[in-house]
Structure 1
């Protein structure tokens, strides 16, 4: 009788763990697809409003991210003034990099 109870308990734990992993994977995949769809909609609406402003905004955002990457990987002894801009661009770069990795892993399945 103990063997049957132990086997049933093991099966129950396995099923709960498996179902939990499947639900978590579905939630993360749905979140990644919703994020990608939102970014695509934002780009489409921006382009339909004004292609020139869209390109200018993308260029400024690219410069902002480049500054964030430079501030992240530069030698810390050279840090002088303008720490707020460096902190903001580093945070933006980190957030964008994390979002890109998240979309790469879960959006493409």
Structure 2
């Protein structure tokens, strides 16, 4: 019984290790693809119209700044509604995407 249990434990360890390695590769590929898509969007936007790109970047910055302010300030009484909720969600999604890219594109050779 001891040999079977040891073999089962070693097999479980190998399956877990290979699963983690595969998941790491998949996440790194997703991060590189996302970074490439963001760079392509920026390039195409700039080639279409530099003025609209700068104006859009300014509006996006204002949107994210309002979302950060809504998310990080002391909570007000009641729930957030309308634009405040939308900007808070937008900021949170952008922050999580930035963290994802920070963690998984650091080891990527696409940079």
Give me the TM-score of the superposition, normalised by structure 1: 0.90
Give the alignment of 1:18-33 within 5 angstroms.
Answer: 18-33=17-32
Unaligned runs of 5+ in 2: none
Residue of structure 2 equivalent to 1:102: 100
Q: Which has the larger radius of gyration?
A: 1
Q: Partners in 1 of 2:78 and 2:69 — Cα distance?
A: 12
Q: Partners in 1 of 2:52 and 2:96 — Cα distance?
A: 26
Q: Partners in 2 of 1:99 and 1:70 — Cα distance?
A: 18
Q: Partners in 2 of 1:65 and 1:51 — Cα distance?
A: 21
Report how far residue 10 of structure 1 moved.
1.6
Report how far residue 16 of structure 1 moved.
0.3
Unaligned runs of 5+ in 1: none
Give me the TM-score of the superposition, normalised by structure 2: 0.89
The root-mean-square deviation of aligned C-alpha atoms, in Å, is 1.8
Q: Number of aligned pairs?
A: 107
Choose between structure 1 and 2: higher helix proportion.
1
Distance 1:12 1:57, change over 3 A: same
Q: Partners in 1 of 2:73 and 2:3 — Cα distance?
A: 62
Residue of structure 1 equivalent to 2:81: 83
Report how far residue 35 of structure 1 moved.
0.6
Residue of structure 2 equivalent to 1:93: 91
Report how far residue 25 of structure 1 moved.
0.5
